[in-house]
Chains A and B, each alone.
Chain A
Amino acid sequence: MDSLRIVPARDDKSATTQDTSNSFGLHDTLQYGPRSLATEVRKNGAVKDRLENWEATQDNLKLQMQRQLFGLHMPMRILMERKLVSQNSHMPVLSQSNLHLDILMGRDEMLECPDFMMPASELRQPSDIHADMEKKLRM
């Protein structure tokens, strides 16, 4: 993406089942309920898309500017460092904190909404640790 957008673009939603897929790659009816084309194709709220893509868009802007100023090696090194640091051999338990990653991303001295507002989905106990580990190791 060669764009220098500051704010996430409002793109039309396409139907996808990846959000709710189980280990077979199909829609997980047991966990998420029956599939509904109306909910998948209809455009969701704009705030949700904006918030979820916010950090990625800002990050992309910075990396793109670094590429244009310094060359391809600069964003490559930055991304390499991040990748090295996010390798986490622990099991996916509830709360995982990665201080090194926070420092590299520049949020070590800031408090943001995700730090203290936990969605209900994260409060659940990991019901199937094997499935969680499988998902993690396939990444």
Chain B
Amino acid sequence: MATASVYKGAGFDFSNEVRNTFLSERGIPLPKATSTGTTIVGCLFKDGIILGADTRATEGPIVADKNCEKIHFITDNIRCCGAGTAADTEFTTALISSNMELHALSTGRKPRVVTAMTMLKQMLFRLVPQPTHYHRPPSSIAPFPYRYQGHIGAALVLGGVDATGPQLFTIHPHGSTDKLPYVTMGSGSLAAMAVFEAKWQPNMEVRIPHAHPLPTYAHSPPPPPQRAEALDLVCAAISAGIFNDLGSGSNVDACVITASHTEMLRNLVKPNERVQKERSYQFRRGTTAIKKESIRSLIVDEDVTSITGEAMDIS
């Protein structure tokens, strides 16, 4: 008989796999998970990192969440944007956040971005799906989350400022990583990358768009008008994704991370606010005529008995 295993096991339950294989071979597709076919960007500027994301979560062709939050917390100075299956990105980043906290407590040092990146890539590599023998329909036209059919589909942009300086990484769903000064991921990544390629320069300042004044960053000399400011650039990149990609939409979220502190700018720009209806569609009182009115009292018979005994025993 098998000895007690010292290994913990997979943690996933595969008891339905035979049934699912059987059903999918008969043509019944797996249910589509909520995906964040999305636009996420990260960009290095003079003092740190800016991460940006849109806020739409889709479930096939339907918008499941108009204002979801895609910039996840890893540690105080590290944040991670997630594209792909929404549950997978949230679950993965929450797990890595917990592990980073344990690691920081154990080493006694402030956590580093490369640690989070290594943990993420090792975890995603473990779950890489292998090609199977039976034919799977080609998914070159479908957005990438559908290809994985339940395996973890999470493309992440990880950025933070630690003791070694500002770091920006991308982690692809199979576990490969890149270290770059500006990155975009998701279905709107091409639109956002076009904006970055046109306007990104090293050592940009941060300037707040007029919609959201932040006195912390009001450096006294105003920048020359032809330089693209980092936060404006990130908003422009996300907006390009919002307007040109069906999987991205709603508002722009941003997160500015510097060596001293992190600022989470939720709903920084809202280019898709719902307009107020031009007419009022309420019916005025009296539109429907009252033909008959009868009032019936629900109290048939009322009999009051006063109780003067002892108080209720509530000990």
Secondary structure class of chain B's binding surface, majority of residues: loop
A47 within 8 Å of B (CB atoms)? yes
Q: Is the CB of B126 within 8 A of A54?
A: yes
User: Nearest residue in A to B13 (C-beta to C-beta)?
Assistant: A119
Q: Whole-angstrom distance from the CB of B220 to the nearest CB of chain A?
A: 46
Kindly state the separation between the CA atoms of A60 and B14 in the bound complex, as whole angstroms.
24
Q: Is the CB of A47 within 8 A of B130?
A: yes
Secondary structure class of chain A's binding surface, majority of residues: helix
A111 partner, pick from B1, B17, B95, B129, beta carbons under 8 A: B95
B99 within 8 Å of A (CB atoms)? yes
Most chain B beta-carbon contacts within 10 A, residue among A82, A112, A135: A112
On whether A48 and B7 interact (CB within 8 A), knowing A43-B133, A117-B12, the answer reads: no
Kindly state the separation between the CA atoms of A59 and B13 in the bound complex, as whole angstroms.
22
Interface residue count on the B side (C-beta < 8 Å): 32
A121 partner, pick from B8, B13, B129, beta carbons under 8 A: B13
B314 within 8 Å of A (CB atoms)? no
Which residues of the other chain, A, contact B95 by a CB distance below 8 angstroms?
111, 113
A128 within 8 Å of B (CB atoms)? no
User: Nearest residue in B to A92 (C-beta to C-beta)?
Assistant: B4
Q: Is the CB of B4 within 8 A of A119?
A: no
Chain A stretch 15-43: residues in CB contact (< 8 A) with chain B: 18, 39, 42-43
A2 within 8 Å of B (CB atoms)? no
Interface residue count on the A side (C-beta < 8 Å): 38
Kindly state the separation between the CA atoms of A54 and B98 in the bound complex, as whole angstroms.
22
B272 within 8 Å of A (CB atoms)? no
User: Nearest residue in A to B16 (C-beta to C-beta)?
Assistant: A120
Which residues of the other chain, B, contact A111 by a CB distance below 8 angstroms?
95, 98-99, 102
Kindly state the separation between the CA atoms of A42 and B21 in the bound complex, as whole angstroms.
10
Chain B stretch 115-146: residues in CB contact (< 8 A) with chain A: 126-133
A52 partner, pick from B4, B9, B132, beta carbons under 8 A: B9
Q: Is the CB of A88 within 8 A of B129?
A: no
Q: Is the CB of B1 within 8 A of A138?
A: yes
Q: Is the CB of B10 within 8 A of A45?
A: no
User: Nearest residue in B to A40 (C-beta to C-beta)?
Assistant: B18
User: Nearest residue in B to A32 (C-beta to C-beta)?
Assistant: B15
Q: Whole-angstrom distance from the CB of B279 to the nearest CB of chain A?
A: 52
Chain B stretch 65-102: residues in CB contact (< 8 A) with chain A: 95, 98-99, 102
Q: Whole-angstrom distance from the CB of A73 to the nearest CB of chain B?
A: 19
- List of 9 A-B pairs having minimum Cβ-Cβ separation, nearest first: A113-B11, A46-B130, A114-B11, A119-B13, A51-B10, A55-B7, A114-B8, A48-B14, A117-B11
Q: Which residues of B contact A (CB under 8 A)?
A: 1-4, 6-15, 17-18, 21, 95, 98-99, 102-103, 106, 126-133, 151
